[in-house]
Amino acid sequence: MKKIKTTPLAPQQFEVEQISENEANIIAYPFETGYAISLAHPLRRFLLSSSVGYAPVAIKIEGAKHEFDSVRGMLEDISDFILNLKEIRFKINDDEAEEAEVNYNFVGPCIIKGNDLINDDIDIVTPDAHLATLNEDSTLNFTIKIAQGIGYVPSEDTSDELEDGYIALDAFFTPVRSVTYKIENVLVEDNPNFERVVLNIRTDGQISPVDAFRNSLEVMYAQLAVFNSEISVKAPTTIKRVEESPDLKKLSTHIDSLGLSARSFNCLDRSKITLIGEIALMSVNDLKNVKNLGKKSYDEIVEKVQEFGYEVGASLADDVANALKKQIEEK
């Protein structure tokens, strides 16, 4: 008689197979039959739809009034120039900045490529991409607005916010170029029916495949966090449960529940700050001194903690504070 299970086997093995700088395989196993695809498919969706990237959202070209215009001495007309521009993948160097406006001036004869657009504010991950060809005695002056975002945003959604002279652009932010997965059988003890999932992730260079995968997990956790506050999940019988005050229960909640941006979440996670109570116990200066935490992220964390009902650096009841500190020590 086969052993009867009361809980599904939890996968224990995780591997990263780096194929190139912009491509990697994420491997996890062993899963119960059917579990691998149940996780792989939504992760693929999150990777393709929720990965944060950069794209030009508007351009102003000296001497051009619209996208069907032309510039004297430039081989490409404006529509071709814009198509070429969309093939160039930008990256804002300041991690705290969500937008950047950069000015460029070129004098012909020259061939302008992606690497000619690199400056202190902007990096280019497609340096060989062609932009334009200028004849002798021609000049090209233009300004690009670059923004951070997710997914695809049509030009109609941003055109109302632009100053005169700018041409709105369709923006394709997604830095993940492709995600595929395969499910393989793997042997566990004498049972060959367990599964292994292999996720292949390829990016354009704005983000590494591993960081893209990590961000997709954060988005998935944030989406699922709503159920934590609405449904009381019964703890396994093997875990000893203790009576907790309402404050302690809330403060023991994972920071996923705050709905932070990926940048703010990563700063806390890398500093091993995983509970909301840890932030509440910190002083304002302690939080500001978290490594790589900028002012924008600090303000966001303070605001989210306040929405949760607490203040950074506030005094907690002694019994709650002591119980919370014990949890933090034991985690």
45 and 82 inside one domain? no
Q: Is the pLDDT of residue 6 over 70?
A: yes
Q: Is the pLDDT of residue 180 over 90?
A: yes
87 and 15 inside one domain? no
The string over 138-161, giving b where at least 16 C-beta atoms fall within 10 Å of a residue's C-beta and e elsewhere, is: bebebebbbbbbeeebeeeebeee
pTM of the model: 0.65
Element (DSSP H or E) covering residue 57 = strand 52-61
Write down the pLDDT at residue 189. 80
151 and 72 inside one domain? yes
Q: Is the pLDDT of residue 32 over 80?
A: yes
43 and 106 inside one domain? no
d(CA 49, CA 272): 28
Considering its fold, how many domains does the chain have in total?
3
Domain coverage including residue 11: 1-51+177-206
93 and 162 inside one domain? yes
Summarize the confidence of residues 131-139 as an average pLDDT.
92
Summarize the confidence of residues 267-280 as an average pLDDT.
86
Contact 320, 247 (CB under 8 A): yes
Higher pLDDT, 113 or 248: 113
Rg value, the chain, Cα: 25
pLDDT band at 296 (very low <50, low <70, confident <90, very high): confident
d(CA 270, CA 75): 49
d(CA 173, CA 62): 26
Backbone angles phi, psi at 197, to 5 degrees: -105, 135
67 and 141 inside one domain? yes
Write down the pLDDT at residue 11. 87
39 and 107 inside one domain? no
